[in-house]
Amino acid sequence: MMRQEINSFPKQFSFEPKLANAGGLKKFSRVVVAGMGGSNLAAGLIKILCRNVEIIAHRSYGLPHLKSFKDTLIIANSYSGNTEETVDAYKIALKKKLPVAVIATGGTLLQLAKKNATPYIQMPDIGLQPRMALGLNLMAHLKFIDPVVMKKLKALERTLDVARYEAEAKILVKKLRDKIPIIYASAENQALAYIWKIKFNETSKIPAFYNAFPELNHNEMNGFDAVAATRQLSANAHFIFLRDANDHPKIQKRMRVTEVLYGNRALPVMAVDFDSRHLHSLFGLLVYGDWVSYYLAEYYGVEAEQVPMVEEFKKKIKS
């Protein structure tokens, strides 16, 4: 199932979002995306794709503590439509009479949107886990935020070569066996490192962490300056540097120097190069991460698609 979902990922960009209750929308220059887990991965990508709109990813109950919500659109985004934090954010936005829209496949959010004449986009429910519906979710967001970029992404349905990244992924998987992946990117691209981390957590069912340059050079890297007493703590770490051709020259230098310092301390580093200004390269990087997490799941003998611990947790907090 997961393999099929990765192979069919480009088809998600054929999605034609239909905006209902569009008359309720007002002009905005800032967007708050309220959502959890895989339903809020799109927000970080939109920051990379759309530089003309401020994007705030909100991952909690309620709304972010902003001085003002002037010229702000709140998007309550939940794949299932039942995520309690997102439903809470929607209800508070409605109570405060703030501009709000909904993206969901169904559930409580969609029911509330219809009842309250809230602008909404209904995504097709094709049985995906939220993290694997990134294309659908991204297209829905861009319908609100930047329809021009949305149209450009449609070309990926025909041109994104998923199979190309599978062989490369198998090489990295061999290096990551029995290791804890730690993914680094520039601050501008930290959403990509976060998505890779999430895929390792949910698909491969392993610990994984991420951070961003240049901040990590001021703190995190010191934690890997191992001595005899602490060497065992970092023995299973394997670093993945996501290197963008468009990163600031000083960030590129920091990556090179950090790789040397880690190498001198016997810490394995693998660099993955991409170009964030080219859609095929940007989304190819995400597909690459999908393949790596999928084959790691296969190596560990775990089911790749479902997230049983998340479901167990949901049941317990409802009891």
- What are the pLDDT digits (tens) for 192-208? 999 999 999 999 999 99
How far apart CA 103 and CA 141 sit, in angstroms, is 8
* Amino acid in the structure at residue 189: N
Residues facing residue 241 across a β-bridge? 184, 271
Q: Is 154 part of the annotated catalytic residue set?
A: no
Annotated catalytic residue, options 202, 238, 259, 305: 202
Annotated catalytic residue, options 91, 248, 280, 314: 314
Q: What percent of the chain has pLDDT over 90?
A: 96
Which residues are within 8 A (CB) of 255 and not within 5 positions of it... i.e. 6 or more apart?
184, 213, 241, 243, 247, 271
Which pLDDT does position 52 carry in this prediction? 85
How far apart CA 241 and CA 274 sit, in angstroms, is 11
Q: Is 318 part of the annotated catalytic residue set?
A: no
Residue 97 token pair? 């009479």
Alpha-carbon torsion, ordered 160, 198, 143, 51, to 10 deg: -90
Which pLDDT does position 89 carry in this prediction? 98
pLDDT class of 318 with cuts at 50, 70, 90: confident
How far apart CA 187 and CA 98 sit, in angstroms, is 30
Annotated catalytic residue, options 218, 315, 316, 318: 218
Which pLDDT does position 26 carry in this prediction? 87
Angle between helices 107-115 and 84-95 (to 10 degrees): 20
Exposed / middle / buried, residue 136 (Cβ in 10 Å: 0-12, 13-18, 19+): buried
pTM value is 0.96
* Interval 57-93: pLDDT, tens: 999 999 999 999 999 999 999 999 999 999 999 999 9
Which pLDDT does position 308 carry in this prediction? 94
Which pLDDT does position 319 carry in this prediction? 75
How far apart CA 241 and CA 181 sit, in angstroms, is 10
- Bridging pattern class, strands 269-274 and 237-244: parallel
Which pLDDT does position 24 carry in this prediction? 82
pLDDT at 1 over 90: no
Q: Is 95 part of the annotated catalytic residue set?
A: no
* Interval 117-128: pLDDT, tens: 999 999 999 999
Asked whether 110 and 81 are in contact (CB, 8 A), the reply is: yes
* Domains parsed from the chain with CATH numbers: 2-158 (3.40.50.10490), 161-300 (3.40.50.10490)
Mean pLDDT across 160-186 = 96
Mean pLDDT across 139-155 = 97
pLDDT class of 3 with cuts at 50, 70, 90: very high
* Interval 282-293: pLDDT, tens: 999 999 999 999
Q: Work out the mean pLDDT of the chain and round it to a whole number.
A: 96
Burial 39-64 (b: 16+ CB within 10 A, else e): bbbbbbbbbbbbeebebbbbbeeebe
